[in-house]
């Protein structure tokens, strides 16, 4: 009986630990963007930017986050050039998402440069982050 309680305690401890880690990563990033001058994050603005189409060079003249991540973020996407499967973006189905600061920053840099042909601003990144985290 005692061990059962211990296990329950241990598992709840681990579970909340994980959630806390993810939330802390997001908070850490939001703080960073705030320091960089980001406005108050807005999930709707994030959603609009995520689905916005930008003009690019041939062969991908129309570019958007959805080009690779697909329209339903709870499902897998497919790299537009290599066809490699990309795991879902929504943290509700893929808990590993948004859980590592350096990873989020790396992909923002790479993917904003490809999609928008420039780096994203701190406001844009904060907006996308709050849009994605609720999915």
Partner 1 sequence: MRSILIVIGTLLVLAAVAMPLVWSDEDREAWLEYGRVSTGVALLSSPVYKEECGSCHMAYPPGLLPTATWQKIMSGLENHFGDNAELDNETQTKITEFLVSNSANQSNYRRSRRFAAVDDKSEASMRISETPYFIHEHDEIPSRLVTGNREVTSFSNCNACHRKAEQASFRERDILIPGHGKWDD
Q: Which is nearer to partner 1, 75 or 109 (CB)?
A: 109
Shortest distance (Å) from residue 31 CB to partner 1:
21
The correct pick among 22, 45, 70, 114 for binding partner 1 (CB under 8 A) is: 114
Shortest distance (Å) from residue 52 CB to partner 1:
18
> Which window, 8-16, 40-48, 81-89, 123-131, contacts partner 1 (CB under 8 A)?
81-89
Q: Which is nearer to partner 1, 4 or 82 (CB)?
A: 82
Output the DSSP codes for 37-98: T--S--HHHHHHHHH--EE-STT--EE-THHHH-S-TTS-EE-TTT--EE----TTT-TTTT
Q: Is 108 in the site for partner 1 (CB under 8 A)?
A: no
Q: Is 84 in the site for partner 1 (CB under 8 A)?
A: yes
Please list the helix, strand and coil fractions of the chain in percent, rounded to the nearest 5, in that order. Answer: 55, 5, 40
Q: Is 4 in the site for partner 1 (CB under 8 A)?
A: no
Q: Is 106 in the site for partner 1 (CB under 8 A)?
A: yes
Alpha carbons within 13 angstroms on the beta-carbon side of residue 109 total 6
Supply angle C-alpha 75, 80, 81, rounded to 5. Answer: 140
The two structure tokens encoding residue 113:
């440069």
Which residues contact partner 1 (rule: CB under 8 A)?
57, 59-60, 79, 81-84, 86, 102, 106, 109-111, 113-114
């Amino acid at each position: 009986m005692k061990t059962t309680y211990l296990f329950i305690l241990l598992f709840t401890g681990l579970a909340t630990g994980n959630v806390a880690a993810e939330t802390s990563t997001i908070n850490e990033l939001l703080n960073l963007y705030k320091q960089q001058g980001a406005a108050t994050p807005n999930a709707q603005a994030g959603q609009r930017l995520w689905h916005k189409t930008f003009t690019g060079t041939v062969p991908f003249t129309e570019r958007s986050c959805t080009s690779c991540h697909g329209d339903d973020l709870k499902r897998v996407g497919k790299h537009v050039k290599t066809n490699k499967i990309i795991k879902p973006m929504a943290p509700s189905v893929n808990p590993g998402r948004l859980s590592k600061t350096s990873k989020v920053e790396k992909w923002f840099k790479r993917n904003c440069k490809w999609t928008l042909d420039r780096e994203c601003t701190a406001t844009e990144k904060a907006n996308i982050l709050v849009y994605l985290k609720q999915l």
